[in-house]
Amino acid sequence: MIREEGLDAIWDGRYYSGSDLVRCASAGCSGCSACCHFTSDTIILDPLDVMRLEKASGSSFLELLEADRIQLSVTDGLILPHIRMKETPSGGEGGCPWLTEEGRCGIHAYRPDLCRLFPLGRVWNEDGTFRYILQKDACVRPGKSKVEVNKWLGLTTKEKVEDDRIFHERWHGLLVKMRRKMALLETDQQRSALSLYLLRNFYERRWIADEARFYRQFSIRCNQAGDGLEGV
């Protein structure tokens, strides 16, 4: 998601690589679920997130929509899914739908990328590569310790690091191309068709619930979409 505010409002002033140490480890977050509340529509889901959620829940993307676990909204000009927060009896936000009564993540091994990152974030360079930042004051838990960024993200091998990098750079690049094409389209019908293409081919179409095979599937679909956008 593209942020409108400047980085100075949210970061600690440093860029990090995957091999850097950053003070964000919070002892398993025991007794705290503050970051699982009041996030509104900010937990935007990418195709890998959806594959993991389908695997964790045994439900399809469309079934998750019908169950109000996820919701669609316009994000930076494109229709994309995000986690739908539960509502309290008074109509306020009641937390993530996968949060247990004990205040723990019920799908921790399959949680979305933005949840894995927190309190880190990605910032994108003009060449389509990214760096990490630490969002200052985002995590309220005191006494955090240092951890390697890749370890924090669960990227325990060189292969996982590389797969993760390629996926996020390709997905970001595709969304950039989609937004550029969207800006050139003349009618709402054309813009709607482009958004539906993205939803149907990268979210509604089921992914094989295996990460290694997912990356291969994603590469094929990404190539097909990229070919259709060439010359725009």
Cβ contact 19:148 at 8 Å: yes
Of 27, 20, 42, 25, the C-alpha closest to 161 is: 20
Q: Does residue 127 carry a pLDDT above 50?
A: yes
Quick: pLDDT tens for 187-212.
Answer: 999 889 999 999 999 999 999 888 88
Q: Does residue 8 carry a pLDDT above 80?
A: no
Calpha distance 49→44 (Å, rounded): 9
pLDDT at position 19 = 97
Q: What is the token pair recorded at 117?
A: 């990152």
Quick: pLDDT tens for 128-159.
Answer: 999 999 988 888 888 789 999 999 999 999 99
pLDDT at position 209 = 86
Q: Does residue 4 carry a pLDDT above 50?
A: no
**Within the chain, what is the greatest distance between any pair of CA atoms?**
53
State the CB neighbour count (10 A cutoff) for residue 169: 15
Question: In terms of pLDDT, which residue wins out, 94 or 79?
Answer: 79
CB contact burial 41-66 (16+ within 10 A = b; e otherwise): bebbbbbbbbbbbbbbbeebbeebbe
Q: What are the distances in angstroms from CA 27 to CA 32, 55, 134, 152, 181?
A: 10, 27, 17, 12, 44
Q: How would residue 92 be classed by pLDDT, with cut points 50, 70 and 90?
A: low
Q: Which residues contact 145 (CB under 8 A, 6 or more apart)?
A: 23, 25, 27
Please state, for a pLDDT cut of 90, what percent of the chain lies above it. 62
Quick: pLDDT tens for 30-76.
Answer: 768 888 887 778 899 999 999 999 999 999 999 999 999 999 999 88
Tell me the pLDDT of the chain averaged across its residues: 88
pLDDT at position 18 = 97
Q: What are the distances in angstroms from CA 8 to CA 4, 11, 104, 123?
A: 12, 6, 31, 12
Q: Does residue 3 carry a pLDDT above 60?
A: no
| The model's pTM | 0.90
When computed from its CA atoms, the radius of gyration of the chain, rounded to whole angstroms, is: 18
Calpha distance 130→185 (Å, rounded): 28
